[in-house]
């Protein structure tokens, strides 16, 4: 299998695993991926390669678990900024992680 195919399969498997995990967490979901090809395939913009055809019905099946779902491509640089911003938003003014602070 070529590297290009394996990367696409891994991207789509990652999206499928994320959808499975998100089912119990939310009803409204925005799926961001830096894989334009995977997003285009899921959104029906690009045809599905034969080696990914088994994944698309599973991904589409998970979509019915959400009231709203959007798949969108983000550039790698934007992904890094979003991850950094998310990390910074969890840090309180005292420099500690808000999620791990204990109330007294």
103 found inside a domain: no
For 35-82, how does the pLDDT look when each residue is reduced to its tens digit (9 = 90+)? 999 999 999 999 999 999 999 999 999 999 999 999 999 987 655 555
pTM: 0.69
Q: Which residues pair with 91 in a beta bridge?
A: 97
84 found inside a domain: yes
100 found inside a domain: no
79 found inside a domain: yes
The percent of residues above 90 in pLDDT, for the chain, comes to: 64
Q: Phi/psi of residue 97, each to 5°? A: -65, 120
pLDDT at 93 over 50: no
Cβ neighbours for 26, distance < 8 A, ≥ 6 positions apart? 66
54 found inside a domain: yes
For residues 2-18, give the mean pLDDT.
83
- Smallest CA-to-CA distance from 73 within 31, 21, 19 is with 31
101 found inside a domain: no
Domains held by the chain: number: 1
* Domain region containing 30: 3-95
Return the pLDDT at 70.
95
104 found inside a domain: no
For residues 12-18, give the mean pLDDT.
95
Would you say 72 and 30 are in contact if contact means Cβ atoms under 8 Å apart?
yes
Q: Angle at CA 30, nearest 5°, toward 17 and 78?
A: 95
62 found inside a domain: yes
């Amino acid at each position: 299998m070529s590297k290009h195919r394996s990367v696409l399969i891994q991207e789509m498997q990652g999206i499928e695993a994320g959808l499975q995990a998100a089912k119990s967490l939310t009803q409204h979901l925005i799926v961001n991926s830096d894989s334009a090809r995977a997003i285009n395939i899921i959104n029906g913009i690009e045809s599905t390669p034969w080696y990914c055809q088994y994944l698309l019905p599973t991904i589409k099946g998970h979509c019915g678990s959400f009231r709203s779902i959007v798949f969108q491509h983000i550039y790698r640089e934007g992904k890094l900024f979003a991850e950094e911003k998310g990390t910074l938003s969890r840090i309180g003014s005292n420099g500690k992680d808000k999620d791990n602070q204990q109330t007294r």
